[in-house]
Amino acid sequence: MALFKTRRNRGTRNGKPTDVHPVDEVMPPARMLAYGIQHIAAMYAGVVAPPLIIGEAMGLAPLDMTLLIGASLFTAGLATMLQSLGVWKIGARLPFVNGVTFGSVAPMLAIVAQQGQGNPLSVIYGSVLIAGVLAFVIAPYFSRLVRFFPPVVNGTVITLIGLSLMPVGIKWIAGNNAEAPDYAAPEKIALGAATFALVLLFNRFLKGFWNRIALLLGLVAGTLIAWPVGLIKTETFESAPLFNFPTPFALGTPTFNITATISICIVMLVAMMETTADMIALGEIVDRPADEKTIAAGLRADGAGSAISAVFGGFTCSAFAQNIGLVALTRVRSRFVVATAGGVLVLLGLFPVVGAVVSLVPQPVLGGAALVLFGSVTTSGIRTLGKSDLGDPFNSLIVAGALGIGMIPVVAPHFYEHFPAALRTVLDSGISTGCIAALLLNILFNAWRKHPAEAEATVGGDTVAVVGTAPGEYHRDEADAGQVNSVPEPRTSAQESESTR
């Protein structure tokens, strides 16, 4: 039996498109590589930032820092391939990119501070290993939350994902340190604005394949503009070794500390909640709704990827929401494109000098392109909200309350600074707090409302029976038990042609 189950796309037959879903489409290698590199460009800064921050806090030597970054790239590639290709009941089999979750940085810095003269990486890897196993075991139980995600909750969470990411793009343009002399320098803002405009223009005027790689073209053009201005830093490229294979436990043999393990397990639970929201968002975008089985498989991949990451010197792995924005922007929905990106990430981890080439892209250039990506996620959320009845005052209150709570840590990062550290792990994530708020508010306003025991809905010209289920949800009465989906709306001819593209 083949290790990875794939469905081959044979393109067109006699001028007619095949019935292969766009998610399962296998493109020519050159195109998959180009689209895959575009995904890497969108996520690269997010993958290397956590090891850079943790390595600097530990005072690692340049060579060890390079090994730490290489391990993060290598394990992100493995986790991404596991998530997109799938094996057994592991992997969502969606165009889903995995990498180092930034939510783990704060507790890992606390571990570094607590360990003193010891090797904090050993404690970190032991904690990540246990958290990964925990996520793998509880994935099928955690996935049952999907039944509480009707369109009003889905749309709110997806919108919040996009809005929460906006400050990341803005910081990439202006800089992360407001005290730095070059913070928000005019040339940085101009470079970010130029890249932003170029990505939009390329999307507007380019056609076909070139339109699909508009983001990559914008990043290349922005980098070329930055070259004469002196905003390109080549230090990483000049010091990177040619080849390095991440050997197991090279940076530290796992040791176990109960306090550290609990803190990383909490981070993992928060990451699982965000991954659940991201999978639901991605399922809406690619027209393959993420059901309970898909979410369980995706969460298992998060757990397995994190455990493998701890072995090879990486950190906790979770979904990268910015790549969901790229799927929405480019409309390239093939999971094999993302799997190709995972393969390239593995090569970047093995050949650090090649990975350093990607680091030549200045952060203001990444920020300008990111604003388009994150805006695309927000747009997808608004589109999903359009499927819910916002004319209902209760549904409007659900959206208003969840967005209001979810935006608190986004607009005021220090709002919860006097709360216990364990609570802040959840509260400092706008996606997590907004998701929890949307779920609870939906239960509060919709759980005990009187709905007809059975109603009829017209779908594609046919009348089908639907029955009430979880708060605010309906599913077809012939659906599998436990699997809850919204009644689909009639598809237009334009949507049909898009799904077979």
Kindly list the domain boundaries of the chain, sorted by start residue.
19-383, 454-499
Phi-psi region of 277 (alpha: psi -120 to 50; beta: other; left: phi over 0): alpha
| pLDDT score recorded for residue 398 | 94
Assigned token pair, 402:
């969840």
CA distance 219 to 196: 9
225-247 b/e (C-beta count within 10 Å ≥ 16 → b): bbeeeebbeeebbeebeeebebe
Burial of 320 (0-12, 13-18, 19+ CB in 10 A): buried
Give yes or no for a contact between 301 and 91, defined as CB atoms under 8 angstroms apart: yes
E-only strand ranges, 302-385: 317-319
In terms of Cβ atoms closer than 10 Å to its own Cβ (0-12, 13-18, 19+), residue 57 is middle
3-state secondary structure of 319: strand
Contact 69, 313 (CB under 8 A): no
Residue 184 vs residues 78, 197, 410: alpha-carbon distances, Å: 36, 18, 19
Q: Which amino acid belongs to residue 2?
A: A
| pLDDT on residue 468 | 39
> What contacts 352, CB < 8 A, 6 or more positions away?
66, 69, 70, 240, 241, 242, 243, 244
Predicted local confidence at residue 17, as pLDDT? 52
User: Please, are residues 300 and 89 in contact by the beta-carbon 8 Å criterion?
Assistant: yes
Rounded Cα distance, 12 and 227, in Å: 43
**Four-CA torsion 472, 487, 494, 160, nearest 10 degrees:** 20
**What CA–CA distance (Å, rounded) separates 443 from 111?**
37
Mapping DSSP to helix (H, G, I), strand (E, B) and coil, where does residue 351 land? Answer: coil
- Residues 6+ away with beta carbon under 8 Å from 17: 500, 501
| Tokens representing residue 197 in the block | 């405009």
SS3 state at 405: helix
Please give the helix or strand (H or E) that residue 136 lies within, else none.
Answer: helix 120-142
* Per-residue pLDDT at 455: 41
In the predicted model, residues of the chain with pLDDT beneath 70 are 1-18, 106, 115-117, 235-239, 355-356, 358-359, 422, 425, 450-501
* CA pair distance 377, 363, nearest whole angstrom: 20
> What is the residue whose two structure tokens read 């250039």?
365
Query: Quick one: tokens of 39?
Result: 């995904």
Longest Cα–Cα distance in the chain: 71
pLDDT digits (tens, 9 = 90+) for 272-321: 888 888 898 899 899 999 999 999 999 999 999 999 999 999 999 888 87
Terminal Cα distance for the chain, rounded = 30
Contact criterion met (CB below 8 Å) for 146 and 295: yes
Strand, coil or helix: what is 98?
A: strand
- Return the closest-CA partner of residue 285 out of 380, 395, 350, 212: 380
The first and second tokens of residue 16, run together, are: 């007619």
Which contiguous run of DSSP H or E holds residue 464? strand 462-468
CA gyration radius, the chain: 22
pLDDT at residue 134 in the model: 94
Put residue 260 in one of left, alpha, beta given phi > 0 → left and psi -120 to 50 → alpha.
Answer: alpha
Instruction: Determine contact, residues 317/342, Cβ cutoff 8 Å.
Output: no
398-452 pLDDT, tens digit each: 999 999 998 998 899 889 889 887 677 678 778 778 888 998 999 999 887 765 4
For residues 63 and 239, give the distance between their C-alpha atoms in angstroms, rounded to a whole number. Answer: 9
| Distance of alpha carbon 433 from alpha carbon 277, whole angstroms | 12
Neighbouring CB atoms inside 10 A of 483's CB total 16
Contacts for 357 with CB less than 8 Å, ≥ 6 apart:
237
pTM for this entry: 0.69
What is d(CA 42, CA 76) in angstroms, rounded to the nearest whole number? 14
Say what the pLDDT of residue 425 is: 67
Q: Encoding tokens for residue 453?
A: 């025991």
Output the pLDDT for position 130.
95
| Cβ atoms 110, 263 nearer than 8 A | yes
Q: How far apart are CA 356 and CA 238, in angstroms?
A: 8
